[in-house]
Structure 1
Amino acid sequence: MSDRPDLTPPEPEQPSASDVLGAALGGAARRAGLDPADGKSTGRVVWAAIGGVRGILESVLPGLVFVVAWTLTYDPATKDANLPLSLGLSVGLAVVFTAVRLIQRQSAAAAIGGLVATGVAAALSLLTGRGEDNFIPGFITNIAYGSALLISAVIGWSLIGLAVGFLMGEGTAWRRDKRKRRVFFWLAIVWAGLFAARLIVQVPLYFAGDVTALGTLKLIMGLPLFAPLIAVTWLVVRALYPRAAKPSEAASE
């Protein structure tokens, strides 16, 4: 039997599912400008998260044009409107936004995602001939996001916590801190509540076939609620992870 030491290098440790998920969520948050370690002001963070003026236009205009076109062409006698025109204008705007980004060689991921979502919704609505079916993909998205956030909070693996843990370089160590676990639990619950509120308000309008009210409330419950919640989340996370004083600041104290 040989006494020579085993020089075989140890196999690298495989990342856990929580590490992979945290890295994915954290990476997405960082690309959106949501990195608590950057020291940006809350206003700048929210502005970056919504994509600035262009992001607002890309997010709001297609839906707004659909609602306006539907309302202007709506015939109370037949209780119908010019669906192809309304959808065509909406999808056309999404195509223009995506094309402009591609021509300018800018990141078009968000615009392409919006174009795909708009196109799928329009195709479904044209297939059924019902304007309200244009909002079904949005319902599915809200159900998926809300359920994921709610379940993650209940089982103690808040998706907010996983993302922040990756951004702050502590992985899942936050789960050993009762205060952080409690805060990330409630942040996930609040975000899940936003998606649930959209469904509670909008689904009854869908079954009532009130396309104008449904489209209007979708816009109102979009960025106007998303932006403040981003700000609140940012402020709470920054309070959990106060920045260390710079050497020059420490020396002056």
Structure 2
Amino acid sequence: MNNLLKTAVEAAIKAGDVIMQVYNTPFDVEIKDDKSPLTEADKRANDIINSFLVPTDLPIISEENKQTDYDVRKTWETCWVVDPVDGTKEFIKRNGEFTVNIALVKAGKPVLGVIYVPAVHTLYYANVEADEAYKVVLNGHEFSLEYITENAKPLEPKEANSNPVQVVGSRSHMSQETLDFVDALKTEGNDVEIVSKGSSLKFCLVAEGQADVYPRFAPTMEWDTAAGQAICNAVGIEVISKETNQALLYNKENLLNPWFLVSK
């Protein structure tokens, strides 16, 4: 595991620890200007992650940091893209389906990705350039590189053309565009099963072979997707913009993503 990936893994696990400290106590919920919720867990996790990433001397795009003007950002060849708590709504519901997302982006493309699921001590991590992505269940929120490397299992996506086709989406609130996508699969003669999951775990479902495709026809931000895209890309899963028919790019002037499709 290279040093930057190791740093990101340790940062994610330590952030997960403080997130669960808040999760297991009463907490207040603020509403930000963009109408999204914010808790003490988001703030504390962001502080922990910054404490690990700032010493790398690479700039950081984080949901909870003040965003740097694009005139400065556009000069960044390499940067971190971070969501300290992805799935704050799931956190508030206390359903466990929230994650810590940390990605390293070079020239607009994710090259390292870490997703940590603190409620179940589960870590996903990937090095895209080495075509390696792994999953490991930890003993609590302790960082042990030896334990991780000894116990991590490679991610293996499903073979193409499976039936039924497992589509990642909401069981009860799918957009019309997603319903149209499902109908098109059925028209092609496929049986379709909907698989529901919160936060960046949707990417992990496809990367580890528990789903075939994740159509995201609703707004997301770069920090929601960068780590998941890295994990998918490392095992041959593409994350394709519906605007450009090319891979999603990062550190854009507008940090809002276009709609996209995750599949082989």
With the shorter chain as reference, the TM-score category is under 0.3
TM-score under structure 2 length normalisation: 0.26
TM-score under structure 1 length normalisation: 0.27
More helix by share: 1
Q: Using CA pairs below 8 Å that are at least 6 residues apart, which structure has the higher relative contact order?
A: 1
More strand by share: 2
